[in-house]
Amino acid sequence: MKTTIKEEHYSNYINNEWVQSASGKLITSINPATKEAMGYVQSSTEEELNKAVEAADKAKKVWRKLGQAARGQLLFKTASLLEENLNEIAESMTKEMGKTLPEAKGETARGIAILRYYAAEGMRKEGDVIPSSDSEALMFTKRTPLGVVGVITPWNFPVAIPIWKIAPALVYGNTIVFKPASEAAVTAAKIVECFAKAGFPEGVFNFVTGSGSVIGQKLIDHPKLNAITFTGSEQVGQNVAKSAAARGIKFQLEMGGKNPAIVTKNANVEQAVEAVISGAFKSSGQKCTATSRVVVEEAVYEEFKQKLVEATKKITVGNSLEEDVWMGPSASESQFNTFNEYVEIGKQEGAKLIHGGEVLTGGNYDNGFFVTPAIFDEATAEMTISQEEIFGPVIALIKVKDLAEAIEAANNTKYGLSASIFTSDINSILEFIDEIEVGLVRINAESAGVELQAPFGGMKGSSSGSREQGEAAKEFYTAIKTVFIKGS
């Protein structure tokens, strides 16, 4: 795969051309394992953004008229191109944000699967026939695209999240302007190359990099934008909602979580430990669905805690390109500092740090943002480490008497994205399903993870209410037209 200027330097992609910013400035992407530059993208201006939106607006009629089946075929082509470049894209992801190489390959493979899933949507129905009270009339619905959709994505899943937004937006007939997080924009650019080579009509797919305050905000405020889909922090998401609502355009927000795992007295403790560690510490805890609170019934609390610490001690931390590394570095200096700040907050509020929470130094560790996964004992549901999203490898253990108290503690947060329970009791499972206030419910499985064909999204402060992925994506990216036909 060749880049547009020279290796690891990327331009914007506007109206089917690679374009450098008029600013003449670049944003440097840093490898969090070495603190070395691994690539550069454009620090764009409002001028480039306007050109991208204008191109998308001009292309939307031609793209809509192309038809759903033909749009799906272009997604199939993109999937094949992504598959051809899987290893390179995965390695770029690992170098850019620290995810281990097996995880990066898995995420890229998921992006390919998502593209193929939505490509097949090109041959599925786009409406329903509805009985009319007039026996001589035909009444039906059809889906119509929204127009120009802005796509703003985070750095923690630089392949999967953009694709699960972009693929349905395109197949349902929208044109897009894609703005990735700067921390993962080199990986995003490699995805864009696959779309560019697939042969989409001019202006359908546009890619602009730059700061959120300039490019992100100007995109939301652009008068020719018809909808915005955003994944990122709660604070930014609230601003997106205000701006979009003020303009009366459709918006979709996914803003993180504070995801609990409940371990009951009837749980398979070994299974729970394995799933909690995977949910909490994979990707260095930098997932919106990561387990961050573990609420444990007192009958099994000590056993679970002991086995959790023993298993966590076996985790290897290092450069994610190395085969024997289980957990890589924090994705950036900012994430590294945030982790350290919350570890100190946990100590100050009275939680007992029983494992990890340390900065790794010496040898290759001096060149990156490496920490050890932290486990806090004696946490309460009201503590800061139990309430605020840390986005790092931190577990707060909370002891409770029974399931009712566990569910109350789990729900005691402004977030409601995902939650899991570990139990062999069917009554506990049914009560948990009914009472837990989240959009993603997991039984005897880690809180992180959702299948691509299933709806994804949260409740309360985690989401704006609409769902991503699966057939649910159609509800956001299209509007319904009801058609009534009667002969003359």
Does 453 score more than 80 pLDDT?
yes
C-alpha to C-alpha distances, 106 to 88, 144, 234, 295, nearest whole angstrom: 13, 33, 27, 29
pLDDT in tens, 267-316: 999 999 999 999 999 999 999 999 999 999 999 999 999 999 999 999 99
In a domain, 7, yes or no: no
Judge whether 254 counts as a catalytic residue. yes
What does the block give as tokens for 408? 């109350």
Same-domain pairing of 245 and 264: no
* 3 state DSSP class of 133: coil
Q: Residue 213: inside a domain, yes or no?
A: yes
H-assigned helices in 282-314:
301-312
Q: Is the pLDDT of residue 231 over 90?
A: yes
pLDDT (0 to 100) of residue 488: 84
Q: What is the pLDDT of residue 121?
A: 92
Q: What secondary structure does DSSP assign to 376-423, as a single string?
A: EES--TTSHHHHS---SSEEEEEEESSHHHHHHHHH-SSEESEEEEE-
Half-sphere exposure of 66 (CA within 13 A, CB side): 25
Q: In terms of domains, do 185 and 269 share one?
A: no
Kindly state the percentage of the chain with pLDDT values over 70: 99
Question: Are 318 and 436 found together in one domain?
Answer: yes
Whether residue 293 is found in the same domain as residue 221: no
How does residue 126 score in pLDDT terms, banded at 50, 70 and 90? confident
Q: List phi, psi (to 5°) of 316.
A: -95, 135
Q: Output phi, psi for 455, to 5 deg.
A: -60, 145
28-32: long-range contacts (C-beta < 8 A, 24 or more apart)?
A: 29/96, 29/182, 29/183, 29/184, 29/185, 29/186, 30/332, 30/333, 31/95, 31/96, 31/368, 32/97, 32/98, 32/328, 32/329, 32/330, 32/331, 32/332, 32/333, 32/336, 32/368, 32/369
Residue 150 shares a structural domain with residue 251: yes
In a domain, 1, yes or no: no
Q: What is the enclosing helix (H) or strand (E) of 484?
A: strand 478-486
pLDDT score of 5 more than 60: no
CATH of residue 361's domain is 3.40.309.10
46-66 vs 68-84: helix crossing angle, rounded to 10: 120
Over 70: is that where the pLDDT of 3 sits?
no
Residue 77 lies in a domain: yes
Domain membership of residue 180 as a residue range: 12-255+463-486
143, with CB counted inside 10 A (0-12, 13-18, 19+), is middle
User: Residues 48, 183, 193, 254: which is the catalytic one?
Assistant: 254
Question: 271 and 240, same structural domain?
Answer: no
- pLDDT of 402 above 90: yes
Please write the tens of the pLDDT for every residue from 469-486: 999 999 999 999 999 999
Mean pLDDT of 203-227: 96
Q: Determine, yes or no, domain membership for 116.
A: yes
Q: How buried is 135 (Cβ within 10 angstroms: 0-12 exposed, 13-18 middle, 19+ buried)?
A: exposed
Q: Would the pLDDT of 83 be above 60?
A: yes
Residue 4 has pLDDT above 70, yes or no: no
Whether 197 and 275 share a structural domain? no
- 140 with 162, same domain: the answer is yes
- Number of structural domains (the chain) is 2
Q: What's the pLDDT tens digit per position in 344-359?
A: 999 999 999 999 999 9
Which tokens belong to 260?
Answer: 């609990």
* Residue 331 and residue 216 share a domain: no
Q: Mean pLDDT of all residues in the chain?
A: 95
450 — alpha (psi -120 to 50), left (phi > 0) or beta?
beta
Is the same domain home to 244 and 292? no
Statement: residue 456 has pLDDT above 50: yes
- Closest CA relative to residue 392, chosen from 331, 302, 351, 321: 331
Please state, in angstroms and as integers, the Cα–Cα distance from residue 190 to each residue in 3, 81, 159, 199, following that order. 8, 11, 9, 16
Supply the DSSP symbol for 37.
E
Name which of 93, 158, 97, 100 is nearest 336 in CA terms: 97
Give the Cα-Cα-Cα angle 347, 351, 354 (nearest 5 degrees).
Answer: 90
Q: How far is CA 232 from CA 28, 384, 391, in A?
A: 20, 20, 11
pLDDT at 6: 41
Q: Which whole-number Å values give the CA distances from 93 to 147, 217, 335, 369, in the listed order?
A: 31, 26, 16, 16
In-domain check, residue 5: no
Asked whether the predicted pLDDT for residue 88 surpasses 90, the reply is yes
Element holding 427 (H helix, E strand): helix 426-435
- Both tokens of 157, joined, read 């899943």
Sequence-separated (6 or more) residues with CB below 8 Å from residue 25 = 42, 43
- With beta carbons less than 8 A apart as the criterion, state whether 462 and 256 touch: yes
Show the tokens assigned to 65. 């008229």
Report CA-CA distances (Å) from 247 to 63, 113, 240, 244, 373.
Answer: 24, 35, 11, 5, 43
Amino acid in position 101: L
Q: If you search the block for the tokens 């995902």, which residue do you land on?
A: 418
* CATH code assigned at 85: 3.40.605.10
In sequence order, which residues have a C-beta less than 8 Å from that of residue 408 and are 6 or more positions away?
381
Q: Is the pLDDT of residue 8 over 80?
A: no
Looking at the fold, whether 70 and 43 belong to one and the same domain comes out as yes
Q: Are residues 306 and 248 in the same domain?
A: no
Does residue 6 sit within a domain?
A: no
